[in-house]
Amino acid sequence: MSYWKLPAWLLVTGLLLTSPLLAQRAGQSEKAVSYQQFVRQMRTEYPGVRTICYGSDRDVFTKIMAPDAFLKNRSNPNARQAAATSQFIVTYTGFSPQAQAAFQYAVDIWSTLLVSSVPIRINANWTRQANNVLGSAGPTTYRIVVNGAQKARSFYPIALAEKIARTQLNDPAAADISANFNQNYNWYYGTDAKPPAGQADLVSVVLHEIGHGLGVIGGFSTSGSLGQYSGGAPFIYDNFIETTQGQRLVSSTYPDNSNALYRQLTGGALYLNGPILQRNTGQRARLYAPTTFAGASSVYHLDETTYPAGNINSLMTPQIDNAEAIHNPGPLILNLFSDMEWKTTSVLHTPLADSEDARDLVFRVQVVSDTVINTNSIRLFYRKGAPTTTDSVYTSVTPIRVGTTNEYTYTLPAATSQGDVRYYFQAQDASGRTYTNPGKSASGSQIHYQVQTGPDNIPPSIRYSPDKNFIFNPAAVDSLPIYARISDNRATGIDTAYVEYRINGAAQASGIPLRFNTATLIDDVDSVYVGRITFPANSLKVGDQVSYRIVARDSSRARNQAVNPATGFYTLSVVGVQTARS
């Protein structure tokens, strides 16, 4: 912006730093982030995104029937209740009885293919949409830091998160999936998989859209020539996307906001792969990845050419033709769902709380499996202090089962537990598949919990980088914003954070509070605290000196205090309007 374009009323004065930038205290190092700190620091919820399913004018006259077990039980009314392994509760808006019956048929198919102890709620809307759109759907929210999840730093669709955690995570009346269907389309409402020419099979489209709501969805996108993924963290589905060479897309090879990632997203050669998918099918699933990225279709559909109409795996391709019936998700998607933890062993644990008192640590874990658990495999791994490159050994112990329940406990005596303890749990099912709590990072490294007992004598950490210049209107009330990253070594956290400031060496009013910013970005590793130093109108003049520092105290009994900068103050000089320069 050219200076002469500034509004006439904006008489500006510059505040220029006269002291060097200080990003952190001298000698301060980045400490490893434990899972307990990670839980406290990360934003745990992400808003819903949707995909779109398109129709076509082509008639293909193909038919894929529902799974045999479903059809067999469907013919026996007494067996229908027993066949369902999950409960779907649908709220219909605007549906005719015929359309609702077709929708319910698709829901009943999914209810026999997935296992969940938590009801899956769907809001289904019969609405006007673009002529070529069949429908759109997606999870209402996503959760990160899910108890029992194996990808500790990935977003899970809310229905899947609840399945893994074996408990309700959102409001019990809230929808987990939101789906819209085009009331203007020429639909076939039958459930016999025999749509005629010119009509789209509603059962097939509903199956497809529910598939997106259950997890065939993610956060990849593009901006210009850059590839990105939302929120700075992958979605669970994104972890299973790989290149022709077998390199995972969620990796340091293809960083967020990079051209390398963009080239892969638009390169036409991406695949889904996972250990269960590979073991049970012997193949990868090729994805739809056109040279022009389509935000509602790319990557989150299977490739149309590889799985054409009539193929058992064609349900989750980007379009459904007229006279095309697909009443089965297909083995590729169903096995991917197992990799994504729709079939899993949930190792459930509530993290232990820090204490300044010496005490026994009682570790409790629940193990709930969709398969057969190897009870002899359940382990607690712990160590004193953070692992290092030269010392990363954990002590392995076997928790004791509580009666005949699925709960196991282990007690670490106070004499051993005092100080800093890092730990995680592990279990295996009969097939040898390993599950941990907390889970692992996208790179496969094990994350751990942290619990600390005994006196807390360590002050908080303050990270702050002041701006070099600040422009404001001296004739009106204005303010200097302060954004500081403040964290503590204990989960009890920060008690007080504020700014002390002086004008020309004279201390001003009592400390300006800094408040925790609940909208912290997902890739922030510290808690962001925000405040403002407010200057009344006409209170500053050229030559004034503004000095300030940030003070933080933790919640320990000692109320350990840290200041930034470590000595002295940040000092800013008030200067007048300068001569314009090109």
Residue range of the domain that includes 116: 45-339
Sorting pLDDT into bands at 50, 70 and 90, what band is 78?
low
DSSP 202-214: HHHHHHHHHHHHH
Total Cβ atoms within 10 A of residue 15: 20
Type of residue numbered 338: S
In order of 358, 359, 386, the CA distances from 413 in angstroms are 9, 7, 19
Q: How far apart are CA 344 and CA 350, in angstroms?
A: 19
Query: Looking at 339, 361, 391, which one is the last position of a domain?
Result: 339
Sorting pLDDT into bands at 50, 70 and 90, what band is 10?
very low
Length of the chain: 582
525 pLDDT higher than 50? no
Sorting pLDDT into bands at 50, 70 and 90, what band is 27?
very low
User: What pLDDT is attached to residue 518?
Assistant: 60
Closest listed residue to residue 276, CA positions, set 336, 205, 320: 336
Sorting pLDDT into bands at 50, 70 and 90, what band is 333?
very high
Domains held by the chain: number: 3
Tens digit of each residue's pLDDT (9 = 90 or more) over 46-56 = 666 677 788 88
Residues 54 and 184 in one domain: yes
Closest listed residue to residue 10, CA positions, set 467, 469, 470, 475: 475
Query: Looking at 282, 316, 339, which one is the last position of a domain?
Result: 339
Helix axes 202-214, 158-165, angle to 10 degrees: 60
Residues 332 and 351 in one domain: no
Q: What is the CATH number of the domain that holds 486?
A: 2.60.40.10
DSSP 165: H
User: What pLDDT is attached to residue 378?
Assistant: 98
In order of 24, 231, 255, 389, the CA distances from 212 in angstroms are 44, 19, 25, 41
Query: Looking at 282, 306, 339, which one is the last position of a domain?
Result: 339
Q: How far apart are CA 277 and CA 216, in angstroms?
A: 14
In order of 255, 355, 361, 451, 526, the CA distances from 489 in angstroms are 29, 12, 18, 10, 11
Percent of the chain predicted with pLDDT > 90: 72
Selected residue with higher pLDDT from 449 and 46: 449
Residues 16 and 74 in one domain: no
Residues 213 and 328 in one domain: yes
The residue assigned the tokens 């889904």 is: 272
Tell me which of 56-70, 226-240, 541-555 is least confident: 226-240
Per-chain mean pLDDT for the chain:
88
Tens digit of each residue's pLDDT (9 = 90 or more) over 537-567 = 888 888 889 999 999 999 999 999 999 999 9
Residues 419 and 568 in one domain: no
User: What pLDDT is attached to residue 46?
Assistant: 63
The residue assigned the tokens 């529910």 is: 210
